[in-house]
Amino acid sequence: MSSSLIAEGLEDEAKKRGLKDIKVDAVGADEVADYLNNDHYDAVLLAPQAVYRKDSIAAEAKDHSVPFLLIPRNLYSPLGSSKLFDIVKQKLTDKE
């Protein structure tokens, strides 16, 4: 499964809920630090197939005070977008 399909699914879910300003970027694990250094992100989601990078990416997110979430394998599908969106929304709510 492509991370870009998951990103697209999350953006589509946001639009269904009337949230038009939601942007989701799919980037490689090696690019996360650069993206966090050069732009503002509200959360970092990690694809389940990149679990081996969990500790380093979670640390990078923490360094930028950004919540981190390893996407549950069962939600890593465009069909899981609604539930995944709910989890991300809750994670962001918990941050506040």
Domain of residue 45, CATH code:
3.40.50.2300
- Residue 89 CA from chain centroid, whole number: 10
Q: What is the pLDDT of residue 24?
A: 93
Q: Check whether 1 has a pLDDT greater than 80.
A: no
Q: Check whether 20 has a pLDDT greater than 90.
A: no
Domain containing residue 19: 3-75
Domain membership of residue 59 (yes or no) is yes
Q: What is the pLDDT of residue 96?
A: 62
74 vs 62: CA distance, rounded Å: 25
Number of domains in the chain: 1
Domain membership of residue 58 (yes or no) is yes
Q: What is the pLDDT of residue 9?
A: 94
* Average pLDDT value for residue range 11-16: 94
